[in-house]
Amino acid sequence: MRFDTPATSNPIDQLKVIGKPTDRIDGPLKTTGTAPYAYERHDVAPNPAYGFVIGAGVAKGRITRIEVSAARAAPGVVAVVTTLESAPLPNGPMNTATLFGGAEIQHYHQAVALVVAETFEQARAAAALVRVDYARQPGRFDLAAEARNAKPVPGDSGEGSGAPPEDRFGDFEGAFAAAPVKLDETYTTPDESHAAMEPHATIAAWEGDRLTVWTSNQMIAWGKRDLAKALSMKPENIRLDSPYVGGGFGGKLFLRSDVVLAALGARAARRPVKVALTRPLIANNTTHRPATIQRVRLGAGRDGRITAIAHESTSGNLKDGKPETAVQQTKLLYAGANRLTALRLAEMDLPEGNAMRAPGEAPGLMALEVAIDEMAERLGLDPVEFRIINDTQVDPEHPERHFSQRQLVECLRRGVERFGWTNRDPRPGQRRAGRWLLGMGVAAGFRNNLLTKSGARVRLDSGGVVTVETDMTDIGTGSYTIIAQTAAEMMGVPIGKVVVKLGDSDFPASAGSGGQWGANNSTAGVFAACVKLREAVAQRLGFNSAEAEFANGQVRSGNRAVPLGEAAGPGGLVAEDAIEYGDLAKRYQQSTFAGHFVEVAVDVFTGETRIQRMLAVCAAGRILNPKSARSQVIGAMTMGVGAALSEALEVDKRHGFFVNHDLAGYEVPVHADIPHQEVLFLDEVDPLSSPMKAKGVGELGLCGVGAAVANAIYNATGIRVRDYPITLDKLIERLPTLA
């Protein structure tokens, strides 16, 4: 189905199933521990062996020797595979670091060997007997030190966030110099880990020259393509199966070493092999969000209107890696006649930097939205009002491109009312409750809407059951449920009559899970397949498909009504299609918006910060399932609190690795840290987005949260911290005296 004109009225608009707060249909499996995650697929590959991955002990250099004789002689060992046995495996387009093969070491904990044994414990013990000798080379591990050598580069997250090396509109320098009120500040964000609950894990099994991997992967079609390239195989000889993913946040978008090594280990062992990366390897061997150094300059008139806006970001990555696209939202979020954005990349020898939830906007808004608050204070304006004054309904750099929908102002105004913003004292450090300093903060949220082709296959059987097959994944987001809701709405059946099968590369390729594009595009693909199935049903019955009504498990035309199962017949009916997009996204800017409000309490003696309450007001197109959408947003808000207050991969700048590479040292928020969260969705549909008139919300809930927390801390204490995370050591020496 081609979508190149705005959506008009269609069966989804009935809202009998779509738009209802529906329980997750996969919930019972997950709460009873019976959902089949990758490492726990005991039913798919009999008698598996266990692989243990050995990571490099240096961050840069070459391997001169790997001694494995003791390991091979250890109890239970079936096979040992080393990186010296093959040339570097070819990378797919998404990977930067070499996953396996060759003597060169690009980063710490790069996979150098796999030990396969009868049990995990035997594999781990034998791995400790492998001896690897290196010729160590000096490396570059300090972004601040390397920033002076950073080069202008273009950036593209592949998720709708990108910018050229430098982009100018108008005369920024002249307007900035002439502005009566100016701001010029630098902000830093640290390296961050995805910290998903489920580790990267794979079971691999060969049958002749055919390979099946049961793995944890967000993007099945990409994974199949890249695994075929890495192993020099025909894609049709590979099957990926990933029906449940226990968190990814971008860390499982691309092929990782667990998949490759499970396949190589299974080939060497001549039997199925299980591989799960240990927590240190997840932090250092996979990917992370790169640290940034961001300079923001703002110039404004006394009336509060921005006349000059510049945002420059420097990040680091391996050679041929990409920068963090932290400036992209600044090109679109606020009006301003004179503009400058720039990206620079320092070549470094740390583990690979790549996509993490809301790449670009998440760290970019942590800088921009604090700068906006600082500028509002210099102007003597309420920070909400300053944002509203500088709203725009067009792309500031391409004024002919209007936003398809833009309700940022409404998000902010609704938030002001709901949160009790007028009770905020604009003077920092004025509100107290005993030993606690209280403050409120606000930030705008922004995330682009990305359209991508997505397919599905729909079956109707003689019992009136509708089965949907698509390689879309569910990473805890509720994909099973919204896809079932879509098929139920389109075919006029209750949701209990829909079976959803996901995550198998034998199914039609979908959008996959990433960039908050999954919900809108995957359901639009199901919509397209259901349109074809409705036509097939109508044709079999001799109905006019344009006039046929599908409701209550029947199809009706005029005075005639036929049960769907009867229409399907003994052999059933099958339809397959995909949603493909025209140029609407080029003609109109498609984005999502939020207003984030946070109240904090800061201990005046220790500097400890506690979240009191949070509110997100979101404008993100039609909300397909308010219950699962809320779950996505509150999870993202929690992630934003972590980025603001605790999360940072600490770099050993001597040896080039992340020191706190487990969930004990890498601190993420827990339930007790987040006492109250509220989410409001504006009543919005976007007919320019898809037939579903939806967009996405999973990353919008994160974008801006960190800045809202930082702004609340400033309002509570009068201390402006521009280096994240805002840990108590950055506050304690500057806290006001408690009278």
Predicted confidence (pLDDT) per residue in 539-568, tens digit: 999 999 999 999 999 999 999 999 999 999
Which whole number is the average pLDDT over 502-520?
Answer: 97
Domain end point (choices 583, 602, 617):
583
For 375-384, what is the mean pLDDT? 98
How many whole angstroms separate alpha carbon 501 and alpha carbon 488? 14
The DSSP secondary-structure symbol of 738 reads P
Q: 242: domain CATH number?
A: 3.30.365.10
> Which pLDDT value is given to residue 739?
57
Do residues 398 and 475 both lie within one domain?
no
Same domain, 626 and 655: yes
Question: Are 534 and 680 found together in one domain?
Answer: no
| pLDDT above 90 (res 20) | yes
Distances (CA, A) of 692 to 307, 349, 610, 686, 722: 38, 44, 39, 8, 40
At residue 354's C-alpha, the angle toward residues 353 and 358, to 5°, is 125
- Check if the beta carbon of residue 534 is closer than 8 Å to that of residue 550: yes
The model's pLDDT over 157-186, given as tens digits with 9 standing for 90+, comes to: 877 778 899 999 999 999 999 999 999 999
**Percent of the chain surpassing pLDDT 90:** 98
User: DSSP of 58-74, one letter per residue?
Assistant: SSSEEEEEEE-HHHHTS
Which residues have CB under 8 Å from 153's CB, separation 6+? Answer: 165, 322, 323, 343, 344, 345
- With respect to residue 144, please indicate whether it lies within any of the assigned structural domains: no
In a domain, 510, yes or no: yes
The predicted model gives 686-714 an average pLDDT of: 98
428 and 493, same structural domain? Answer: no
Residue 41 domain-assigned?
no
- Quickly state the pLDDT bin for 737 (edges 50, 70, 90): confident
Q: Does the pTM of the predicted model rise above 0.95?
A: yes
* Boundary of a domain, candidates 519, 548, 583: 583
Q: What is the residue-averaged pLDDT of the chain? A: 97
Q: What pLDDT, on a 0 to 100 scale, did the predictor assign at position 156?
A: 86
pLDDT, residue 701, reads 98
In a domain, 143, yes or no: no
For the residues 649-661, what does the mean pLDDT come to?
Answer: 98
183-229 pLDDT, tens digit per residue, is 999 999 999 999 999 999 999 999 999 999 999 999 999 999 999 99
For residues 173 and 303, membership in a common domain is answered with: yes
**Strand partners for 432:** 437
Question: Would residue 324 count as lying in a domain?
Answer: yes
Catalytically active residues are: 699
Determine the structural domain holding residue 539 and report its residue range.
Answer: 2-34+451-583
Report the alpha-carbon distance of residue 108 to residue 91 in Å, rounded. 18
Distances (CA, A) of 174 to 62, 166, 179, 188, 264: 51, 17, 9, 27, 59
Same domain for 386 and 519, yes or no, is no
Q: What 8-state DSSP symbol labels residue 302?
A: T
Q: Which is it for strands 2-3 and 609-619: parallel, antiparallel or unpaired?
A: unpaired
Query: What confidence category does residue 717 fall into, taking pLDDT thresholds of 50, 70 and 90?
Result: very high
Is 739 domain-assigned?
Answer: no
Summarised one tens digit per residue, pLDDT across range 47-86 is 999 999 999 999 999 999 999 999 999 999 999 999 999 9
Let me know whether 358 and 473 are in one domain: no
Average pLDDT over residues 358-363: 97
Q: What is the pLDDT of residue 161?
A: 76
How many angstroms separate the Cα of 237 from the Cα of each of 85, 225, 231, 234, 275?
24, 11, 11, 6, 21
Q: Are residues 601 and 709 in the same domain?
A: yes
The total of structural domains in the chain comes to 3
Q: Are 512 and 221 in contact (CB under 8 A)?
A: yes
Confidence (pLDDT) at 601: 98
Instruction: Kindly state whether residues 316 and 395 are assigned to the same domain.
Output: yes
Q: What is the pLDDT of residues 440-487, one digit of tens each?
A: 999 999 999 999 999 999 999 999 999 999 999 999 999 999 999 999
Residue 630: pLDDT band (50, 70, 90) is very high
Q: Summarize the confidence of residues 641-654 as an average pLDDT.
A: 98
Identify the weakest region by mean pLDDT among 160-169, 237-246, 623-632: 160-169
Report yes or no on 494 lying in a domain.
yes
- Residue 492 placed within a domain: yes
- Among residues 551, 583, 615, the one where a domain terminates is 583
Mean pLDDT of 642-653: 98
pLDDT at 618: 98
Whether 563 and 692 map to the same domain: the answer is no
Is 66 found in the same domain as 29? no
What contacts 55, CB < 8 A, 6 or more positions away?
A: 108, 109, 110, 111, 112, 280, 281, 284, 285
Residues 485 and 512 in one domain: yes
The Cα 467–Cα 461 span in angstroms is 8
**Is the pLDDT score of 152 beyond 60?**
yes
The helix/strand/coil state of 460 is strand
